[in-house]
Amino acid sequence: MRISRSRTQESGIPTASMADIAFLLIIFFMITSIDQPDKTSLKLPKSFQRYDIPRGAAFISVDAEGMVRFSAGKEPSQLVQDSEEIYYKAVQLVAFNPTYEFIIKAGKKMEYRYVDELIDALRRANATSVWLLTQQSTVD
């Protein structure tokens, strides 16, 4: 009686399931990532009222030296020359979406004239929603 030998199967790694895992990881990191268009560190003025800032709004930040940075909401902030450049960028955004929102982030110890110039530029660009970012004070 003849005994037949069993064939040896070659071992392999299933690549289809690896692609599924990679796809799920990409989806997970896309969902959990946080948009941080403006990373300028400033000491903000205090306020007693608290409102949630709108997502996707344009950020305009001004530091104590008057350096202005602008972000349309999704990309990192970039240094701009003056309030006229803010005006031109705001005109483009408002032309695309008339209800586009703008957030001004100004330092606590800066001169108010910088904020006044920015608000004036946004007013000329017909921006209807302008927020001033503040630090919430708690009342005990």
**50 domain residue, yes or no:** yes
For the chain of 140 residues, list the mean pLDDT of each consecutive stretch of 10: 75 76 86 63 63 79 81 80 86 88 81 84 88 68
**19 domain residue, yes or no:** no
**31 domain residue, yes or no:** no
Amino acid 137: pLDDT: 64
Amino acid 55: pLDDT: 78
Task: Please count the structural domains in the chain.
Answer: 1
**65 domain residue, yes or no:** yes
CATH code (residue 121): 3.30.420.270
Amino acid 68: pLDDT: 85
The answer for 119, left when phi > 0, alpha when psi is -120 to 50, beta otherwise, is alpha
**75 domain residue, yes or no:** yes
Element housing 31 (H / E): helix 15-32
**88 domain residue, yes or no:** yes
Task: Tell me the pTM.
Answer: 0.61
**105 domain residue, yes or no:** yes
Q: DSSP string of 76-119?
A: PPEEESSHHHHHHHHHHHHHH-TT-EEEEEE-TTS-HHHHHHHH
Q: Is 3 exposed, middle or buried (0-12, 13-18, 19+ CB in 10 A)?
A: exposed
Q: How far apart are CA 52 and CA 21, in angstroms?
A: 35
| Residue 117 domain boundaries | 46-136
Between helix 112-124 and helix 83-96 the angle, nearest 10°, is 40
Read off the tokens for 80: 């701009």
Read off the tokens for 18: 């690896």
β-strand partners of 101: 129
**16 domain residue, yes or no:** no
Q: How far apart are CA 131 and CA 140, in angstroms?
A: 26
